[in-house]
Amino acid sequence: MSEKVFISPGKYVQGKNVIDKTGEYVKPLGHTALVIADKLVWGIAADRVVKSLEQAGLASVKVEFQGEASKNEVNRIADQGRSGHVDIVIGVGGGKTLDTAKAVNEVLGSSVVIIPTTASTDAPTSALSVLYTDEGAFDTYSFFSKNPSLILVDTKVISQAPPLFLSSGIADAMATWIEARAVIEARATTMAGGLPTLAAEAIAAKCEEVLFDYGLQAYESVKRKVVTPALEAVVEANTLLSGLGFESGGLAGAHAIHNGFTVLEGDIHHLTHGQKVAFGTLVQLALEKRPLAEVERYIDFYLKLDLPVTLEDVKLQEASREDLYRVAQAATKEGETAHNLPFAVTADDVLDAILAADQYSLAYKAKIGQTN
């Protein structure tokens, strides 16, 4: 592959209370919307979406998401969309709901609108979904023919979510430049299906710059449930910059480690996507033999955001060497994004990097007088 490829959603809208303008923005796309949200999100935001659609003269079919972005759930919801003759799919909620909405839309061949209620992942803007088994293990990346037609991000809604969701989104977005940098060096193929563009490189680098500049202020803002300029900047970095940056800039080691973790049982599955990516990012930095000062900059930032930096933090303090080797094997299986690093990577390499990342973080905690 020698072509450069950059892809993006049709329109991105961000601001306070934009959810109440859903109908206005959606109206050009069709007449009947399939609105997907889980039980909790219906009360938080999805009912307001339906109300705004009604005010704009649009019909809607309401579906409750059951919690797992699996092929069976996609097919169940798509069947309801077919029977309702919908021509718009609207996903409202977190990453798994949004990934399901995109997959349902691919089945139905309609327009998809994504309305995240947290800034916890960079899933909203992309033309792909991460699908899991019904039991919650990583299944596959599902690639679609086009990106969402519209992304609506209501920063007032996001400011009301638990701070953990924002810090998780920052962790996910922090991987964007680290992984894109590796893909660019390796001249590897991105999720967009080509080499990274200069635009993707610039966006990924800007994403990290914004997060280091405003991430802590944004985290404090959501603790008080207020919308500040810092929060607006970080929501855009978590959602738009990271979304464009990871998809057209590429994934590498951090997300491969995250996927590797899904083979384990236990408490690690209670962690968010971003929390696992945070540790995966430190593992990639260890693999890349980055200087200690650089590694410690990330560890320090993650600690201030209450993100995990050690195996104990990701609930793996009791994991055996064999268990961690299984993670490393899954992270380096054929087709995994770990192979986008600019050097050959084996399961043994990844196991050593996992243990090294844990040790670097333990040493840094000791240096600053912090204990678990």
Which residues belong to the annotated binding site for glycerol? 122, 172, 255, 273
CA distance 361 to 372: 11
Q: Which two tokens stand for residue 158?
A: 């996001």
Alpha-carbon distance of 246 to 242, in angstroms, equals: 6
> Is 352 labeled as catalytic in the residue annotation?
no
Mark the binding-site residues for NAD(+), compressed into ranges: 38, 95-99, 117-120, 126, 128, 132
Structure tokens at 63: 């579906």
Specify binding-site residues: 38, 95-99, 117-120, 122, 126, 128, 132, 172, 255, 273
d(CA 223, CA 219): 7
270 is catalytic: no
* Nearest-angstrom CA–CA distance, 242 and 94: 16
Whether 273 is catalytic: yes
Which candidate in 154, 273, 313, 358 is catalytic?
A: 273
The residue from 255, 313, 339, 349 that is catalytic is 255
Annotated catalytic residue within 258, 339, 349, 358? 258
Under a CB-based contact definition with an 8 Å cutoff, are residues 220 and 30 in contact? no
Helix (H) or strand (E) holding 91: strand 88-93
Measured distance CA(104)–CA(76) in Å, rounded:
9
Amino acid at the residue 340: N
Question: Whats the size of the chain, residue-wise?
Answer: 372
- Of 31, 85, 87, 172, catalytic: 172
Query: Catalytic site residues?
Result: 172, 255, 258, 273
